[in-house]
């Protein structure tokens, strides 16, 4: 096969990968849904979080601020935004204060439901519809007719002399609406026009949030024209988009840089411009195979699983390097691959068996991770073994080969390393003990369960969010009161019993405001009680006639009122289902979750000052203050515990696999000691620096252990032959330099999650390399010509 | 800007445009000349504080007889307007910063936003222009037509567009749905004498009779009159013709 043919084949392989990548891109559903990543829920809080809520109603709210122009212009833009977004299916609520939300909702309530007003307002709880009260109401209406609001009120009066409709609209208003300038909400300083937008997509759905944020941004660009106004968006959805975008931009920038560094390194190491291409093919194949396997085997994959997976298969980057470094004159690449296979295969099989333990963890995200890494590593190893040799240039097949053993630089390095002392058992044990001590006794908490800390929202946006949340009275995203009952009616009754408590808490300043479903839809029991208090037709007619004596009102204009009351008296109580299709339904559905055998009423809180006091006050009413943050953190902790158990099992299986491959106690110990010591050392360094470990550190540790295993195996494979040692050293130096550079670049990231992975792996590479040199490397015997490494491998396995 | 808040409905009159007592006493020397809108608008611009009595007749199909209100309008400050009804009941409405607060005896005060009458957004702005004598700003919303002499002039303001400003279009649909068709403002006619604004007629589409507010000398002349025809005459005819 000619060099040109080999190149063509390599490019064809690359082309195939691109096609496969495109196909997978079409079929893989990446979701940010925590449920795809977390273990199944156990505690009631976790169940609620995972099974019912996903997240609280506050998490679907986007808070918008328009600033940077004069208030009148901003108000116009605010109105234009509402007009653009109001009909859009991606939003369930778009409010800027204009046409005060309550009235707008009232307009959209169908005529047939209007008589229900008497059952929905608390008026009948306080007043009887008798002559005295009606006369009092008519006096007030006369004043209304003489007031600036006359034109608004007059048309309502025949059917509604008590203005129940307005009472209803008022009860639907947000409790703490911001001030209004030019008819729309503004902050207290009068500089920012404020809007509240609720997305249809859940807060944990970054894709849906991204679409929503995109629509808002386009609508604003349209509304802004050439004004100098600016749009700021906060809220969980906006943050996930902002942070996700930033993480992605930085990761892809660093990734590109990494690719260049990797290519440059291989170019220098092998003096061949084809080396980078050959070096990248198995890893790329493995990554795509992993993604493809997950796409075939699961409905959707969590973004974090993919991030973990790509980190873990990073070890496959080393496979082609080992192959190319071990290539020497007179040896066909196929024989070279066959000779390396026992060593390479041991590493791959041991690692894959270790990842198999994730499958039994019972966590969906870990199962996906196992499938991803096993498929990825397997394919990367198999392509290195069975495809890559056909593409390698040697002197025999018309190409040019770089022999590491002939390199003076390598020889110099080898001599340097040869003078290093060996690390004995006692020193190793001492180091291990010291590491354990540091890791165990370092102050501060060991684990960090708050995943959001890994992708933090910029401080100024958080401050703005707090400010806007306060101005708009938007609900808290962390705390939420939960009432569970057998059905919706019982849940509504429970909410009603809780209402006085909440009012007291608000009066005491422990919460600023609250919102619950029974505010919009009283329980059927309450509605029936109000029906009982409505007078029958003759009684009401008599009372009204009495009230109209000596009144300036005409006596024959209130027939529609009598008809509405008669309807209200007979109507079956209004249920949530009756409201389907009205704007009220969106609010109720967010606050009253109706399952087949259970219903959950939620109370959204804002301005929560003292969670403990609130939790205590509501407890006797069967209500529970849910801390969403704590619930999700406890899930993360559970994920980690399962992961650690899986890892413990994995470690045993790994030792067993290496044992089966090497069958020599001392060699097994030598091969495994560097990775074990490295793991302990890394823990000690991280903990010593006060780093709280998170899941990403854990994944980085696993990757480092995998790398360490390979270094150990290949140093061991080299035996005591100088040339073999030189080639192994070359391979491991290139591998570890490549990995070190790639992850050290990642460590410079400003985003903690990338930094955590980068710094941990980079440190692991360094420790593994040094410890492998100190422990595994055997004293070389200089006896050219060397026996082929193939013979060596055969003699050992 | 003066919030203009003046009008929640067409019946809410720009009374602040009336004369301070001192100027009422000084009739304009140049008489019997035809007036221009510019001349009237120049005369109507007033400094604060000011106050003036009013008499207003409100007709409603809900009532046996028209409702006759009397009291006082005050403009204590550039951006505050107070309407105090003294008879037949006591009620004080204060308009400030885009919101109206209504106080009634024995009831807690109620505040609501002027934005609940979005059609009047233009009116609010235009009366600010009227009171500050800003002809250009006024012309943005109305065509003006003047008539009569300096002793007895009329100024008719007709909205330039029958509909509301575009920014409030969506909300006005809401309001229309509630108040029925034809509830929009047709025109406003101001009646005056020299620098004194005596009466305002607000004509809504679909209403046969305008709502009238008698101010200053006309309000005093109205005394205890409650016959609609006589009040209309007082509104239209100058003091000298009384």
Residue B98, pLDDT score? 66
> Cis omega (within 30 of 0) on the bond before A344?
no
CA distance A210 to chain B (A): 28
How far apart are the C-alpha atoms of A34 and A19, rounded to whole Å? 30
Residues of A in contact with B113 (CB under 8 A): 100, 180, 183
H or E stretch at A603 = strand A599-606
Lowest average pLDDT, out of A54-58, A379-383, A500-504, A621-625, goes to A54-58
Q: Above 90 in pLDDT, residue A365?
A: no
Min Cα–Cα distance to chain A from B231, Å: 17
ipTM, two decimals, is 0.73
Report chain B residues whose CB lies below 8 A from the CB of A154: 60-62, 179
Q: Which residue did the predictor score with more confidence, A689 or A254? A: A689
pLDDT tens per residue, range A164-217: 988 887 777 766 677 777 778 888 888 999 998 888 887 767 778 889 999 999
pLDDT tens across A69-104, in order?
988 889 889 988 988 887 788 888 888 876 555 556
Give pLDDT, residue B238.
57
pLDDT of residue B121 exceeding 60: no
Confidence of residue B4 (pLDDT cuts 50, 70, 90): very low
| Preferred mutation among A85, A148, A169 to probe B, highest tally of B CBs within 10 A | A148
Provide, rounded to the nearest whole percent, the portion of chain A with pLDDT above 90: 27
pLDDT in tens, A541-552: 999 999 999 889
DSSP string, A687-709: HHTTPPB-HHHHHHHHHHHHHHH
Cross-chain Cβ contact B67/A552 below 8 Å: yes
CB contact under 8 A, A155 and B170: no
- Between chains, do B64 and A554 touch, taking CB under 8 Å as contact? yes
| Mean per-residue pLDDT of chain B | 69
pLDDT for residue A105:
61
* SS3 letters across chain B: CCCCCCCCCCCCCCHHHCCCHHHHCCCCCCCCCECCHHHHHHHHCCCCCEEEEEEEEECCCCECCCEEEEEEEEEEECCEEEEEEEECCCEEEEEECCEEEEEECCCCCEEEEHHHCHHHHHHHHHHHHHHCCCHHHHHHHEEEEEEEECCCEEEEEEECCCCCCHHHHHHHHHHHHHHCCCCCEEEEEEEEECCEEEEEEEEECCCCCCEEEEEHHHHHHHCCCCCHHHHHHHHHCCHHHC
**Is A98's Cβ below 8 Å from some Cβ in B?**
yes
Question: Which residues 541-560 of A are in CB contact (within 8 Å) with B?
Answer: 552-554, 557
Distance from CA of A118 to the nearest CA of B (A): 19
Structure token pair of residue A721: 């032959």
CA distances from A93 to A89, A170, B135 (A): 10, 18, 41
Suggest the residue from B95, B105, B178 to mutate for an interface test with chain A (most A CBs closer than 10 A).
B178
Categorize the per-residue pLDDT at A53 as very low, low, confident or very high, splitting at 50, 70 and 90.
Answer: low
A145 CA to chain B: closest CA distance, Å?
Answer: 8
Contact A158 B62 (CB under 8 A): yes
d(CA A16, CA A203): 37
Per-residue pLDDT at B179 exceeds 70: no
Q: Does A428 touch chain B if contact means CB atoms closer than 8 Å?
A: no
With beta carbons under 8 A apart, name residues in chain A contacting B71.
none
pLDDT in tens, A143-156: 888 876 777 788 88
Cβ within 8 Å, pair A99-B89: no
Per-residue pLDDT at A686: 93
Contact state of A183 with B98 under an 8 Å Cβ cutoff: yes
pLDDT attached to residue B132: 67
Query: Contact A740/A704 with Cβ under 8 angstroms?
Result: no
């Amino acid at each position: 096969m000619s060099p040109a043919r080999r190149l063509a084949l390599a490019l064809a392989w690359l082309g195939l990968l691109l096609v496969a990548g495109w196909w997978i891109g079409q079929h893989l559903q990446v979701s940010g849904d925590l449920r795809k990543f977390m273990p199944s829920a156990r505690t009631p809080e976790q169940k609620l979080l995972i099974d019912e809520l996903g997240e609280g109603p506050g998490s679907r709210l986007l808070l918008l601020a328009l600033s940077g122009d004069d208030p009148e212009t901003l108000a116009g833009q605010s109105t234009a935004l509402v007009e653009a977004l109001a009909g859009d299916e991606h939003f369930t609520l778009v409010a800027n204060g204009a046409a005060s939300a309550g009235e707008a909702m009232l307009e959209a309530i169908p005529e047939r439901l209007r008589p229900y007003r008497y059952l929905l307002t608390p008026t009948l709880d306080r007043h009887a519809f008798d002559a005295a009260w009606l006369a009092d109401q008519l006096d007030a209406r006369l004043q209304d007719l003489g007031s600036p609001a006359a034109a608004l009120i007059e048309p309502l009066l025949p059917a509604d002399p008590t203005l129940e409709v307005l009472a209803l609209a008022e009860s639907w208003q947000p409790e703490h609406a911001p001030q209004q300038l030019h008819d729309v909400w503004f902050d207290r300083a009068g500089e920012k026009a404020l809007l509240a937008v609720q997305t249809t997509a859940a807060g944990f759905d970054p894709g849906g949030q991204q679409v929503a944020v995109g629509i808002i941004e386009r609508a604003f660009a349209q509304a802004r024209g050439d004004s100098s106004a600016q749009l700021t968006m906060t809220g969980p959805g906006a943050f996930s988009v902002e942070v996700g975008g930033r993480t992605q931009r930085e990761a892809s920038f660093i990734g590109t840089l990494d690719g260049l560094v990797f290519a440059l390194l291989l170019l220098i190491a092998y003096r061949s411009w084809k080396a980078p291409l050959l070096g990248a093919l198995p890893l790329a194949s493995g990554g795509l195979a992993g993604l493809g396997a997950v796409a075939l085997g699961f409905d959707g994959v969590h973004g974090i699983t993919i991030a973990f997976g790509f980190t873990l298969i990073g070890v496959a980057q080393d496979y082609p390097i080992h192959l190319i470094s071990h290539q020497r004159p007179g040896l066909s690449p196929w024989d070279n691959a066959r000779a390396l296979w026992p060593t390479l295969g041991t590493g791959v099989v041991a690692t894959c068996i270790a990842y198999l333990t994730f499958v039994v963890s019972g966590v969906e995200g870990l199962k996906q991770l196992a499938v991803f890494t096993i498929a990825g590593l397997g394919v990367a190893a198999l392509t290195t073994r069975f495809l890559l040799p056909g593409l390698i240039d040697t002197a025999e097949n018309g190409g040019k080969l770089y022999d590491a053993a002939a390199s003076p630089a390598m020889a110099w390095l080898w001599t340097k390393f040869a003078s290093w002392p060996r690390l004995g058992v006692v020193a190793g044990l001492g180091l291990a003990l010291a590491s354990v001590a540091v890791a165990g006794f370092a102050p501060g908490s060991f684990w960090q369960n708050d995943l959001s800390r890994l992708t933090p929202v910029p401080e100024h946006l958080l401050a703005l969010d707090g400010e806007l949340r306060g101005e708009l009275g938007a609900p808290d995203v962390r705390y939420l009161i939960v009432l569970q009952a057998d059905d919706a009616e019982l849940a509504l009754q429970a909410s009603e019993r809780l209402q006085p408590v909440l009012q007291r808490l608000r009066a005491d300043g422990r919460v600023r405001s609250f919102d619950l479903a029974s505010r919009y839809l009283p329980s059927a029991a309450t509605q029936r009680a109000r029906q009982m208090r409505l007078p029958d037709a003759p009684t009401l007619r008599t009372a009204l006639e009495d009230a109209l004596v000596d009144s300036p009102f005409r006596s024959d204009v209130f027939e529609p009122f009598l008809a509405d009351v008669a309807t209200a008296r007979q109507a079956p109580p209004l249920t949530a289902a009756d409201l389907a299709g009205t704007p009220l339904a969106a609010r109720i559905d967010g606050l009253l979750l109706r399952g087949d055998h259970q219903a959950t009423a939620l109370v959204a809180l804002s301005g929560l000052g003292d969670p403990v006091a609130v939790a205590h006050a509501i407890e006797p009413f069967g209500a529970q203050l849910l801390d969403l943050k704590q619930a999700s953190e406890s899930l993360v902790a559970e994920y980690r515990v399962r992961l650690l158990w899986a890892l413990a099992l994995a470690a045993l299986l790994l030792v067993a696999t290496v044992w089966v491959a090497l069958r020599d106690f001392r060699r097994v110990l030598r091969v495994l000691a560097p990775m074990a010591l490295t793991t302990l050392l890394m823990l000690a360094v991280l903990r010593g620096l006060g780093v709280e470990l998170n899941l990403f550190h854990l994944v980085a540790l696993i990757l480092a252990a995998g790398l360490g295993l390979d270094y150990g195996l290949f140093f061991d494979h080299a035996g005591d032959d100088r040339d073999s040692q030189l080639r192994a050293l070359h391979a491991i130096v290139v591998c570890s330099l490549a990995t070190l550079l790639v992850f050290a670049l990642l460590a410079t990231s400003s985003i903690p999650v990338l930094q955590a992975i980068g710094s941990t792996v980079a440190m692991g590479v360094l420790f593994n390399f040094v410890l492998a040199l100190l422990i595994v490397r055997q004293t070389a015997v200089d006896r050219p010509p060397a026996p082929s490494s193939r013979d060596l491998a055969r003699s050992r396995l | 800007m003066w919030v203009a808040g003046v009008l929640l409905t067409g019946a809410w009159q720009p009374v602040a445009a009336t004369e301070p007592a001192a100027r009422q006493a000084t009739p304009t020397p140049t008489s019997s000349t035809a007036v221009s809108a510019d001349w009237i608008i120049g005369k109507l611009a007033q400094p604060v504080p000011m106050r003036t009595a009013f008499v207003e007749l409100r007709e409603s199909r809900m009532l046996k007889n028209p409702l006759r209100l009397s009291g006082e309008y005050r403009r204590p400050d550039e951006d505050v307007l107070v309407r105090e009804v003294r008879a037949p009941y006591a009620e004080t409405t204060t308009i400030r910063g885009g919101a109206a607060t209504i106080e009634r005896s024995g009831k807690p005060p109620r505040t609501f936003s002027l934005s609940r009458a979005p059609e009047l957004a233009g009116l609010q702005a235009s009366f600010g222009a009227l009171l500050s004598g800003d002809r250009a700003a006024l012309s943005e919303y109305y065509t003006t037509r003047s008539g009569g002499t300096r002793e007895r002039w009329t100024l008719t303001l007709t909205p330039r567009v029958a509909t509301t400003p575009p920014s409030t279009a969506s909300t006005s649909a809401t309001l229309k749905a509630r108040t029925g068709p034809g509830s929009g403002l047709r025109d406003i006619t101001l009646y005056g004498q020299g620098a004194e604004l005596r009466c305002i007629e607000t004509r809504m589409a679909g209403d046969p009779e305008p709502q009238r507010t008698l101010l200053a000398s006309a309000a005093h002349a109205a005394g205890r009159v409650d016959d609609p025809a006589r009040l209309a005459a007082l509104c239209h005819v100058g003091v000298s013709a009384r």
